[in-house]
Chains A and B, each alone.
Chain A
Amino acid sequence: MAALPSAKNVPADFQNKTFLVIDDIIGVRSSLRITISTLGGVKIDMAANAADAINKIERRVYDIILCDYSLGEGKDGQQLLEELKRRRMIRSATIFMMVTAERSYEKVVSAVELAPDDYLIKPFSGEVLRLRLERLVNKKSFLAPIYDLMENQELRQAVRVCDQRLQAPGPYLLDLLRLRGELLLLLSDFAGARQAYQHILTMREIPWARMGLAKAQFFEENFVAAAEGFQQIVADHPNYMSAYDWLAKTHAALGDEAATQRVLMAAVAKSPRMLQRQKDLGETAYHNEDLATAQNAFESVLEFGKFSDFAEPEDYANLSRVFLDKGEYAQALSVMGNARKAFDHSAEVRLHAAVMDSMIYAKAGDQAAAEQAFNEARTLFEDTARKPEAVALDMVHACYQLGDQATGEKIARNLVKDNHDNAAILKRTEQMFQRMGLHDQGKELINNSSREVIALNNRAVKLAQAGDLKGSVELLMQAANQLGNNNVVVLNAAHAILTYIGQNGWDEALAHVARGYLDAVRERDPEHKKYRMLATLYKDLSAKFGVKG
């Protein structure tokens, strides 16, 4: 017989690799262990389920993870992978291979945003496993320099390396193009990202590229084009769940809350266990005054969130508010009673409960109880650092109901100032005033407060345009100190400082302030579209001026 053509891949040395095999069936585990040992692997650990796997991965660094898609009770392989990536428990260099009996079973592979490195369809022979692993080892080492730069947050340099390698791409063309698109999105270079994804789409219609293009368009605030893109993905790939969420978000940005609700309902019908999506649906339906849908969604949040750390006191308040609006006061009170128990009377839950109670008693006509709850709420509100927008809104409502207009106005004004560019929150605030029969008054308050922030911003921009960069920095820092919770203002201040440093050289005192601003935003909203760009700019500048970043 003729010699088999040898693989072009450099043979990998599996003896020094650490393996983790995850499968709920013991027979499959031991069978895979034997297969791996025939490849020369000796450092092989086993896990029977997702929890067991996480436990093992916390203790040891694995080079290669073989994971079955179905893991019996608990998380499946895809959910495990998502958790590992979300918690940054596996490095980019780790090979994660999903083993399935059938490629299209349950989840459609192409519709998964966080894909494993490869899929292995059962049955497979040891030799096929070797070929696949060798190919992945080669690919990972080809892409390693880019992964390293990404892990060091040197995103611009990572793009440059992608560009260099794209001169002679070979088998990793698509991987390079995909990484490049993701990097440009992270760098907030939305025009660049748009072009990158458009380029891929001229070669082939690929769902993740269509997704990337629509995201870039979304960030460029071309919401109509973005909605079309997300719509196309949902139509062609009904299991691409994150496309529904983005489509809903885009409809919301276009101000079409009815469409937002429609899309979220379609998504929830497909996968009801996603808490955040149920929550978004509940909020949208509530503001569309569809109380039945809102109740359903918020009840699902509590039901599915019972045993996870995702449920928050806010989720109980959301449901309680629906009962309040329906006039079911006993129910509304009992939901908050459950919340107090579920969160062991923490300050946060007591705040939510006191605000809700005061509104419920006020509407039910029990003035004494309402006032008592309101007084507690007011104290707690002042003492609590972390105040979700929903509780602030409820607080405003309660203030007006119980005749403390001054406090209500103050809280509303701060809420608007902290979120002057957040259309959804402004709209919700306006709607709340409307419900209290104070539409005009509310509108005026919102306009005045946000105008204040915008004016301050504009003055700083004018100073900068007139060449007074220092003056602009000072003004924006002043604004950031007043409006420390407003991400846009704080990031603008950081941006001004970094621009100033770029032109005038390193200034440690200013850099320290900018660092503080960036850290504050990262704490609150790490996905903020301007945050990553500025964090990278900071890094670039500290490298340029030889300061350890």
Chain B
Amino acid sequence: MTERGPHGTGMDIDFATVFAANIHEIKNLLFLHFNAIERASSEPWALGNPDAQKSLSRIKYGSSQIGQRLAHVLALYRIAQGRYELDIDYHEACDVLREIAVETRSLMEERGIDIDIGSCEGLYGFFDREMVRGILVNAVHNSLHYAKGKVLLSASLEEGFLRFRVEDDSAGYPAEILQSGGAHAKLDLGGGGTGLGLYFSATVAALHRNHDKVGFTRLANGGVYGGAVFSLYLP
């Protein structure tokens, strides 16, 4: 038996692993929680009650945000460990956007925001669907916070990159975020909410490589609605 340090048994804990395993557990619990909310909103007491629906929708939004965050942290943890491998497959751009629109529909309704899908027909790409979905859902959640009434999802082909775009009619990104840019997003524990999401997006985008091309994210203001424009470029 080896001798214990002055701080006792606690010193043997591999905190990162405990942390990751727990996040995994929490995600499982969250799934049950998420389903319970979905079930609640279709129970008789809630069905004809707009206030109840509104509250439930807010709770659902909250838990889906927690779920997103946990997924980001776990993915970043694996990337940091060098144990993350992309699952590259061939996907249709419209398919991905449609799923995001369907997923966020009830939240959008509750906040009085229209979500539309612009042009994306006939575009395909090689990418990790779950990761790309994570990036785009994060961008949509940002828009949900700041948009006045419109969010547009679209895709296009630009210089050999598949470009996904999330734009809204908000006041746009603040200058300091635009300056640092999505690609150089830093984790700022003191700052607002967007740090981790953008950091995650930039990191995962860069994991997508094709020959000498590397994926990236871009933040801009303007676009069709004159608000924030989040772009994801995939090689």
Q: Does B183 contact A (CB under 8 A)?
A: no
- Across-interface contacts of B42 in A (CB, < 8 A): 38
Q: How far is the CA of A4 from the CA of B114 in the complex (A)?
A: 9
User: By the criterion CB–CB under 8 Å, are A123 and B34 in contact?
Assistant: yes
With known contacts A35-B35, A102-B71, A102-B74, A127–B102 Cβ distance under 8 A: yes
Q: How far is the CA of A171 from the CA of B67 in the complex (A)?
A: 30
- Across-interface contacts of B113 in A (CB, < 8 A): 1
Q: How does the 8 Å CB contact mask read for B39-72 relative to A, with 1 for contact and 0 for none?
A: 1001000000000000000000001100100010
User: By the criterion CB–CB under 8 Å, are A1 and B130 in contact?
Assistant: no
- Across-interface contacts of A128 in B (CB, < 8 A): 99, 102-103
Our pick among B24, B67, B84 for the contact of A123 (Cβ within 8 Å) is B67
Q: How far is the CA of A5 from the CA of B42 in the complex (A)?
A: 24
Tell me the number of A-to-B contacts counted with CB atoms below 8 Å.
110
Q: How far is the CA of A173 from the CA of B122 in the complex (A)?
A: 12
Q: Does B214 contact A (CB under 8 A)?
A: no
Our pick among B36, B85, B89, B94 for the contact of A108 (Cβ within 8 Å) is B85
Q: How far is the CA of A123 from the CA of B59 in the complex (A)?
A: 14
Q: Is the interface of B mostly helix, strand, loop or mixed?
A: helix
Our pick among A5, A110, A123 for the contact of B31 (Cβ within 8 Å) is A123
Q: How does the 8 Å CB contact mask read for B74-103 relative to A, with 1 for contact and 0 for none?
A: 110010000111111111101100110111
- Across-interface contacts of A5 in B (CB, < 8 A): 98, 101, 116-117
Question: Most chain-B Cβ atoms within 10 A of its Cβ — which of A4, A7, A135?
Answer: A4
Q: Does B108 contact A (CB under 8 A)?
A: yes
- Across-interface contacts of A103 in B (CB, < 8 A): 87, 130
Q: How far is the CA of A4 from the CA of B115 in the complex (A)?
A: 8
Q: Does A509 contact B (CB under 8 A)?
A: no
Q: How does the 8 Å CB contact mask read for A97-135 relative to B, with 1 for contact and 0 for none?
A: 000011111001111000000010111011110011001
With known contacts A123-B34, A125-B103, A131–B98 Cβ distance under 8 A: yes
Q: Does B180 contact A (CB under 8 A)?
A: no
Q: Does A467 contact B (CB under 8 A)?
A: no
Q: Which of A26-34, A379-387, A441-449 contacts B (4 or more CB under 8 A)?
A: A26-34
Q: Does A345 contact B (CB under 8 A)?
A: no
Our pick among B31, B84, B87, B108 for the contact of A28 (Cβ within 8 Å) is B31
User: By the criterion CB–CB under 8 Å, are A27 and B32 in contact?
Assistant: yes
With known contacts A5-B117, A123-B64, A131–B102 Cβ distance under 8 A: yes
User: By the criterion CB–CB under 8 Å, are A104 and B64 in contact?
Assistant: no
User: By the criterion CB–CB under 8 Å, are B28 and A101 in contact?
Assistant: yes
Q: Does A274 contact B (CB under 8 A)?
A: no
Q: Does A87 contact B (CB under 8 A)?
A: no
Q: Does B210 contact A (CB under 8 A)?
A: yes
Q: Does B38 contact A (CB under 8 A)?
A: yes
User: By the criterion CB–CB under 8 Å, are B102 and A4 in contact?
Assistant: yes
B17–chain A nearest beta-carbon distance, Å: 13
Q: How far is the CA of A85 from the CA of B128 in the complex (A)?
A: 25
User: By the criterion CB–CB under 8 Å, are A122 and B102 in contact?
Assistant: no
Q: Does A466 contact B (CB under 8 A)?
A: no
Our pick among B27, B28, B85, B117 for the contact of A237 (Cβ within 8 Å) is B85
Q: Does B124 contact A (CB under 8 A)?
A: yes
User: By the criterion CB–CB under 8 Å, are A204 and B64 in contact?
Assistant: no
Q: Does B188 contact A (CB under 8 A)?
A: no
Our pick among B78, B90, B101 for the contact of A4 (Cβ within 8 Å) is B101
User: By the criterion CB–CB under 8 Å, are A171 and B124 in contact?
Assistant: yes
Q: Does A455 contact B (CB under 8 A)?
A: no
Our pick among B75, B83, B94 for the contact of A8 (Cβ within 8 Å) is B94
Q: How far is the CA of A342 from the CA of B109 in the complex (A)?
A: 66
User: By the criterion CB–CB under 8 Å, are A110 and B130 in contact?
Assistant: no
Q: Report A's interface with B, CB cutoff 8 A.
A: 1-2, 4-5, 7-8, 27-28, 31, 34-35, 38, 101-105, 108-111, 119, 121-123, 125-128, 131-132, 135, 171, 173-174, 203-206, 236-237, 239
Q: Report B's interface with A, CB cutoff 8 A.
A: 24, 27-28, 30-32, 34-36, 38-39, 42, 63-64, 67, 71, 74-75, 78, 83-92, 94-95, 98-99, 101-103, 105, 108-109, 112-117, 124, 126, 130, 210
Q: A5-B101, A128-B103, A173-B124 are in contact. List 15 more A-B contacts (CB 8 A).
A: A1-B112, A1-B113, A2-B115, A5-B116, A34-B35, A104-B75, A104-B84, A104-B85, A121-B130, A122-B30, A123-B63, A123-B64, A123-B67, A171-B95, A239-B85
Closest 8 CB pairs of A and B: A174-B90, A122-B31, A123-B34, A31-B35, A123-B31, A110-B87, A5-B117, A127-B102
